[in-house]
Amino acid sequence: MSSQSLSPSRGTGQGSWHHRIDYKWIALSNTTLGILMAAINGTILIISLPAIFRGLQVNPLQSNQTSLLLWILLGFNVATTILLVSFGRLSDAHGRVKLYNLGFAVFTFGSILLFLTPGVGIAGEWELTIFRFVQGIGGAFLFANSAAILTDAFPVEERGFALGLNQIAAIGGGIIGLVVGGLLSVVDWRLVFLVSVPVGLAGTIWAYIALRETAVTRESKRIDWLGNITFGLGLLGVLIGLTYSILPYGAHVTGWSNPFVIWSLILGVALLIGFIVIESFVPDPMFHLNLFRNRAFAAGNISGLLAAVARGGLQFMMIIWLQGIWLPLHGVSFANTPLDAGLDTIPQMVGFFLAGPISGRLSDRYGSRWFATIGMLVSAAGFFALNTLHADFSYWVFAFYIFMIGIGMGLFSSPNTSSIMSSVPARYRGVASGMRATFMNAGMMLSMGVFFTIVITNMASHLPTALATGLAHAGLPAAFASKLSHLPPMAVLFSALLGFNPLAKLVPHTVLASIPAAARATLLSVHFFPTLISGAFMASLRVVFLFAAAMSFVAAVASVLRGKQYIYDDAADAPAHGLGVSAVAAERTVAESGPEREDTGTEPTD
């Protein structure tokens, strides 16, 4: 929809002060704030977990703590992912701004609940998990509608720039979350949740006052309950299976042989297949599958999915590497590693923030395909470069490599989002935005499962020997060293992630008292455990980085296949759907801007 068209508003009196040239910037600033807040909360816990566990008075090595830890970390993303498409469809029918505003309010309410978490121990962990789900519901409304609101508000020739800034907030916010989490957790773990409350309250009020509907809502015949249920439950089954696949099961180091995991994945995939069949026959589907016949839409979502798989688990791996190994090796105490690890990831954020706006602006003029493709190739090179580092690396070399990855992701995200959102009719933008965000979030969850499976499986073949040899050499009795050598790789990884030396809790005081004082000091020192596991961890991490490089390269191939820039012309089919010129104005193809522009194709039929 052209940004110069008139549009419905909450009241006719607003039209005099809501000039469109000003309104588009109101829409951009508010939606970017909402997405930034939601994205920061998606990763802020990764780095603040040590402080949260201390605040809840929980020992992370106790039985069943690993699964609860995972749900605290991933509950927000799971809730958001399974609801995105459904909320996008509801927004197309009932108003994008209305449900976006609701999302701001729900997210803020969830943040208040998290700040006020009353319980400690297991009860506190369950409360955090439930409240994170509430946050995730609000986040789903925000993610599902922000890109659609911007696509409605901005003309074609500025859309890439606007969506680029919004995507910087979505992906860059995940990096900012690491820094903010590290800073606030040093003071008080509750501040990690409180920080969203004033921003959320201000954003909710601002959104209600300033935002207005600029798109004509679809006349929905009825809610596609069967489609919503099969899609939500199917995706939930897959995400639960992926989550529990990284936990040990019986004598196995991962959970892929766990019947619960197997059946979760089977039922999840079966329900998703059922969803596809249902959507092909219902008269008013939740999602028009014909949109995937549009090459720009299909290739953009596939490349976005692969890019998310490549980078989704990166933050976890980097924090484990920094917080659990590299910083302790350089004498940083475990109490200070969260803050330092967050600060050490800033170069990636800088690269992303530099490349995103530039790429978005240039793609408006020259098309999306080559900027997005080059971005994924740069990211692939960055992942491959990380593969060459040792556990005790030079920081500035590491900083340059993650800066490369940030540049690559920034080059990719803006043009890819603009390409997807510009290729669909205005009345489907809410559900298209939801599907795009679903692909991205699901890819990140899949990445977590794949990354951790690779690391855990590889560590299982290297870790026992390293632990037995290192502990015996440090002075522990051989029998006890052999017993500790069978410590599950997952427990080792989460010990590193939580930034503490588990030997102080795993080795009985009687055993520690029986060895010389020098040996005891060595075992409990800040650098002993990181040194002990670094070899096995790095051997596994190199495989992960090579996998991420390969996924980035395949994403670049998918990006090339999107073809020339396709911009859907809403004015061409306005009469067929009874839409007035004031509601659906012509999208300009800006053919004079470059050879990439093209404006042909078909839309899904109602």
476 lies in some domain: no
Which of 538, 548, 540, 561 lies closest to 380 in space, CA to CA? 548
Residue 60 confidence (pLDDT)? 63
pLDDT grade for 581, boundaries at 50, 70 and 90:
very low
pLDDT at residue 377 is higher than 90: yes
* Top mean-pLDDT range of 185-199, 343-357, 397-411, 575-589: 397-411
User: What are the pLDDT digits (tens) for 484-506?
Assistant: 777 777 777 777 666 666 777 77
Say how far apart CA 388 and CA 383 lie, in whole Å.
9
CA atoms within a 13 Å half-sphere pointing along the CA-CB vector of 141? 22
The DSSP-derived string for 225-270 is: HHHHHHHHHHHHHHHHHHHHHTS-BTTBSSSTT-HHHHHHHHHHHH
Sorted by sequence, the CB contacts under 8 Å of residue 485 that are 6+ apart come out as 463, 464, 465, 467, 468, 471
pLDDT grade for 143, boundaries at 50, 70 and 90:
confident
Per the model's pLDDT, the better-predicted residue between 557 and 145 turns out to be: 557
pLDDT at residue 482 is higher than 60: yes
Per DSSP bridges, beta strands 597-598 and 565-566 are: parallel
Per the model's pLDDT, the better-predicted residue between 412 and 78 turns out to be: 412
Contact indicator for 432, 424 with CB cutoff of 8 Å: yes
Q: Summarize the confidence of residues 452-466 as an average pLDDT.
A: 83
Which of 245, 320, 255 lies closest to 492 in space, CA to CA? 320
Other Cβ atoms less than 10 A from the Cβ of 266: the count is 13
Which of 152, 1, 150, 89 lies closest to 573 in space, CA to CA? 1
Q: Summarize the confidence of residues 108-133 as an average pLDDT.
A: 88
Residue 535 confidence (pLDDT)? 85
pLDDT grade for 401, boundaries at 50, 70 and 90:
very high
pLDDT grade for 7, boundaries at 50, 70 and 90:
very low
Say how far apart CA 328 and CA 528 lie, in whole Å.
9
Task: Supply the CATH number for residue 50's domain.
Answer: 1.20.1250.20
User: What are the pLDDT digits (tens) for 507-530?
Assistant: 778 887 888 888 888 888 878 888
pLDDT grade for 466, boundaries at 50, 70 and 90:
confident
* Domain count of the fold of the chain: 1
User: What are the pLDDT digits (tens) for 331-371?
Assistant: 877 767 777 887 888 898 889 888 888 887 788 778 788 88
As a whole number, the mean pLDDT across the chain is 79
321 lies in some domain: yes
Residue 585 confidence (pLDDT)? 34
Say how far apart CA 519 and CA 528 lie, in whole Å.
11
448 lies in some domain: yes
Residue 588 confidence (pLDDT)? 37
273 lies in some domain: no
528 lies in some domain: no
32 lies in some domain: yes
Residue 218 confidence (pLDDT)? 57
Q: Summarize the confidence of residues 43-48 as an average pLDDT.
A: 77
Helices (H), 312-428: 314-321, 327-329, 337-344, 346-366, 369-386, 395-422
pLDDT at residue 403 is higher than 50: yes
Say how far apart CA 87 and CA 80 lie, in whole Å.
10
In the chain, % of residues over pLDDT 90:
13
Q: For 565, phi and psi rounded to 5 degrees? A: -65, 125
427 lies in some domain: yes
67 lies in some domain: yes
User: What are the pLDDT digits (tens) for 216-262?
Assistant: 655 555 677 788 888 888 888 888 888 788 777 877 777 888 899 89
Q: Summarize the confidence of residues 460-466 as an average pLDDT.
A: 82
pLDDT grade for 550, boundaries at 50, 70 and 90:
very high
Per the model's pLDDT, the better-predicted residue between 337 and 112 turns out to be: 112
pLDDT grade for 596, boundaries at 50, 70 and 90:
very low
Domain boundaries, position 407: 22-220+284-459+534-590
The DSSP 8-state label assigned to residue 427 in this structure reads G
Contact indicator for 309, 135 with CB cutoff of 8 Å: no
User: What are the pLDDT digits (tens) for 260-319?
Assistant: 989 999 999 999 899 888 888 887 777 777 888 888 888 889 999 999 889 887 877 888
Contact indicator for 286, 86 with CB cutoff of 8 Å: yes
Tell me which residue has tokens 């924090």: 319
Per the model's pLDDT, the better-predicted residue between 432 and 112 turns out to be: 112
Residue 12 confidence (pLDDT)? 39
Distance set, CA 132 to CA 38, 127, 139, 142, 593 (Å):
11, 8, 10, 15, 45
